[in-house]
Amino acid sequence: MNAYEMALVQLRTAAKYLNLEDSIVEILSRPKRELQVSFPVKMDNGKVKVFTGYRVQHNDARGPFKGGIRYHPLVDINEVRALAMWMTWKTAVLNIPYGGAKGGVACNPKEMSKSELERLTRKYTMMISPIIGPYTDIPAPDVYTDPQTMAWIMDTYSQLVGYRVPAIVTGKPISLGGSAGRSTATSRGVIVAAKEAAKAFKREMEGLGIVIQGFGNVGANAAILAREFGAKVIAVSDSKGGIYNEKGLDVFEVLKHKERTGSVVNFPSAKNVTNEELLELPCDILVPAALEGQIHKGNAKNIQAKIVVEGANGPTTPEADKILFDREIMVVPDILANGGGVLVSYFEWVQNLTNLYWTENEVNDKLDNKMRDAFLQVYNIAREKCVDMRTAALILSVGRVVEAMNIAGYFP
């Protein structure tokens, strides 16, 4: 099952609970607009390489399209379609006035120099510029894109239109109008969601054992914050493999080790594990913060965590969802758990449009409150309807999107 097929299964499950008409399901199944672009980029060796990129706009019933841009060798149209649909649900779960979109370029950023990435980013921005804008579609970072990438996008777009447009993109460096707290927002939201989930099990974060798959922006910052919240990070991994110490890892030392060696693997005083083994370690909370499809029907029965908090988008397949639900393992779904990122993106956009800037404490307080509210709303629906948290989050979000669509009508 590819990511788009997963997203469609999830949509149909929610549609059943909401008694949606087939025509509505049909509208929501297909993105409103898809743009595929091919563009040449001059590489450092003087040769020209042609890249393929996408921007998929799923739904804008509740506000402008919103969603990140991913650079990864495995990016394809079906992945971007799924990620765009998940953004529609994510902004609706958090009740922020956006729709959902996603972009991506099939490339391997690990093998590219900074100047090659700059040329690729600026060219891709030019290619998608007809359909993005501060009131139409606002990109942001995702896998292997970062504040520097956003700075290039903002600068390129601004040069095209002739004036500075900070609100064209979120996740910018602070010096270009980025928001305090944005770089750690996704992880903060993940840990706040984990804390609320633990509370539902009558547990405090203090002393809980956490396993994190993925050590990029989301995974690494979640590890740092988990520690701040009193939990014990017992295993982490990156694309090369993982490390495990049941007594807890010194996260800052792991970060230094990764900086030195390029990976978390071979960290002194920890045991190396594979990414597959890592998911099945005994722990209280498992945070998949890498790519899609990691928890599937083959390994769901071996998961030992009591709570799974999805830092990544789409890490659990629909078959695995069923198995975990039957085993009474709570899955806090991506569209809720990692919503802190787009939430602070929204705060950044509001600050750009009003030219009034907030402190990190203000941002974090607003983030914590919104995440807690959204968690409780979803949790209450899950309890009321005896469904898993993903289905509950979809009932809430799809319901909100359909309400907006129906009230706006189907012009002409």
Active site residues: 102
Residue 262 in tokens: 């390029």
φ, ψ for residue 83 (rounded to 5)? -65, -35
Site string for ligand GLU, 12-51 (x = CB under 6 A): ----------------------------------------
Residue 326 in tokens: 């039957």
Residue closer to ligand GLU (CB basis): 170 or 316: 170
Q: Binder to ligand GLU among 121, 179, 338, 352 (CB under 6 A)?
A: 338
* Strands 271-273 and 65-72, sheet pairing: unpaired
Q: How far apart are the first and last CA of the chain?
A: 36
Q: Are 175 and 197 in contact (CB under 8 A)?
A: no
Residue closer to ligand GLU (CB basis): 141 or 209: 141
Question: Could you give the CA distance from residue 296 to residue 309 in angstroms, rounded to a whole number?
Answer: 15
Minimum CB separation of residue 280 from ligand GLU in Å reads 26
Question: Could you give the CA distance from residue 102 to residue 130 in angstroms, rounded to a whole number?
Answer: 15
59: amino acid identity, one letter: N
Minimum CB separation of residue 375 from ligand GLU in Å reads 16
The interface with ligand GLU within residues 166-225 (CB under 6 A) comprises: 170
Residue closer to ligand GLU (CB basis): 248 or 293: 293
Minimum CB separation of residue 283 from ligand GLU in Å reads 24
Residue closer to ligand GLU (CB basis): 40 or 353: 353
Question: Could you give the CA distance from residue 251 to residue 235 in angstroms, rounded to a whole number?
Answer: 10
Residue closer to ligand GLU (CB basis): 25 or 96: 96
Stretch that binds ligand GLU, among 62-70, 73-81, 262-270, 375-383 (CB under 6 A): 62-70
Q: What is the DSSP letter of 299?
A: T
Is the Cα torsion angle 200, 205, 209, 214 positive or negative in sign?
Answer: positive
Q: What is the DSSP letter of 227?
A: H
Residue closer to ligand GLU (CB basis): 56 or 208: 56
235: nearest Cα among 192, 281, 296: 281
Binding residues for ligand GLU, rule CB under 6 A, total 12
Q: Binder to ligand GLU among 55, 66, 258, 370 (CB under 6 A)?
A: 66
Residue 144, CA distances (Å) to 109, 122, 163, 324, 347 in order: 7, 16, 28, 30, 22
- Whose CB is nearest to ligand GLU? 68
The interface with ligand GLU within residues 293-322 (CB under 6 A) comprises: 313
Minimum CB separation of residue 318 from ligand GLU in Å reads 19
Q: Where are the alpha helices (DSSP H) in 19-103?
A: 22-29, 77-93
Stretch that binds ligand GLU, among 157-165, 321-329, 338-346, 401-409 (CB under 6 A): 338-346
Minimum CB separation of residue 250 from ligand GLU in Å reads 28
Residue 405, CA distances (Å) to 59, 95, 134 in order: 10, 15, 22
Residue closer to ligand GLU (CB basis): 181 or 341: 341
Token match 């929501």: residue? 28
| Residue 345 binds to ligand GLU (criterion: CB under 6 A) | yes
Minimum CB separation of residue 4 from ligand GLU in Å reads 15
Strands, DSSP E only, in 73-205?
Answer: 100-106, 137-141
Return residues touching ligand GLU (CB under 6 A): 66-68, 90, 140, 142, 170, 313, 338, 341-342, 345
